[in-house]
Amino acid sequence: MMEIWTEKYRPSKLDDVVGQEHVVKSLKAYVKSGSIHMLFAGPAGTGKTTCAIALAKEFYGDKWRENFEELNASDERGLDVVRGRIKNFARTAPIGGAPFKIIFLDEADALTPDAQAALRRTMERYTATCRFILSCNYSSKIIEPIQSRCVVFRFSPISEEDMKKYLLRIAEKEGLEITEDGMKSLLYVANGDMRKAINALQVAASLTKKIDAEVVYKMAAVAKPEIAKELLETAIKGDFLKAREILDKMFIEDGLSGEDIIKGLHNAIFDVSIPEIKKAEIIDRMGEVEFRIVEGSNERIQLEALIAYLAAIGKE
């Protein structure tokens, strides 16, 4: 079975984590003191889980698995789990002379309100034997009493420079060649998400050792920026039938879904040379079309309606 690269190349030390230097500096201080609960908040693929595991390895050494409990959204997250599994782990003594255990609740914003209410008392009661690290995409979904018990660390999207260095390091170890346009396409597909970038690289590498833009876009189900821009410009010029041909190609040859195409058009609209007020009107219409597609409307009809709208305002 093929090894997943996001796990294979996950940093085992805090110093190896890229793109979150401001967070890593504070976490190193935690390793020395360990006196607080923590809340990691930020977009997907920015290193929240990696930092929690790396912190545990540095804090506990070889005994980290015995003193570190991880629960994520795939586990049951109701009131019974907080009162049972989490409480039982929190109140038992740490192993190997460690001062306390760590419970890591990944995607904590998926906890039910009742479970969060029960958790706040557990965090307070068992501070002597356990510390909590909560991870979430949206800290606003965590109730205030829990946020006030934690130090909040904000994770930002990984910069293109840091992501490029890490991908090149993986490519060197795997014997891959990433072309210049291939790297640009990986960074475009990832949009600050390191996990997405590594997964896209691995899928592309399963086809060829030379990673170029064509392979990346083919495997990542993302609209090519130049094609999306061409579609917009053609429609705005008033050439509806030509724009419809480009749309057909994106649907049939590229195998993109309606949502994939809308996301590509949304990214490309900022590169089109039209007045800002027109861009605002188009984005507003894109939002409406995207909502209709998500709610179950026919993708082709909605997108053809969008390019018909573009052709109409282009003629104006």
Each residue of 209-268: pLDDT tens digit? 899 888 888 888 788 889 999 999 999 998 999 999 999 998 888 888 899 899 999 989
Is residue 203 domain-shared with residue 292, that is, in the same domain?
A: no
Helical spans, DSSP H, in 5-142: 5-8, 21-33, 48-60, 64-67, 79-81, 87-91, 113-125
Is residue 121 domain-shared with residue 101, that is, in the same domain?
A: yes
What backbone phi and psi angles, to 5 degrees, belong to 38?
-135, 150
Is residue 255 domain-shared with residue 309, that is, in the same domain?
A: yes
Name the pTM for this structure: 0.79
Q: Give the H/E segment covering residue 151.
A: strand 150-154
DSSP state of 85: I
pLDDT of residue 234: 92
Tens digits of residue pLDDT in 275-305: 899 899 999 999 999 999 999 999 999 999 9
C-beta separation of 5 from 198 below 8 A:
yes
Distance, in Å, from the CA atom of 184 to the CA atom of 83, rounded to the nearest integer, reads: 48
- Residue 313: pLDDT band by 50, 70, 90 thresholds? confident
Is residue 229 domain-shared with residue 305, that is, in the same domain?
A: yes
How many domains, the chain?
Answer: 3
Is residue 180 domain-shared with residue 238, that is, in the same domain?
A: no
Nearest to 53 by CA among 17, 94, 91: 17
- Burial code (b: 16+ CB inside 10 Å, e: under 16) for 168-198 equals eebbeeeebebeeebbbbbbbbbbbbbbbbb
What is the token pair recorded at 71? 């629960």
DSSP state of 4: P
- What CATH number does residue 268 fall under? 1.20.272.10
The range of the structural domain enclosing residue 187 comes to 160-220
What is the token pair recorded at 141? 């979904």
Distance, in Å, from the CA atom of 264 to the CA atom of 269, rounded to the nearest integer, reads: 9
Is residue 28 domain-shared with residue 130, that is, in the same domain?
A: yes
Is residue 179 domain-shared with residue 198, that is, in the same domain?
A: yes
What is the token pair recorded at 82? 């907080």
- What CATH number does residue 13 fall under? 3.40.50.300
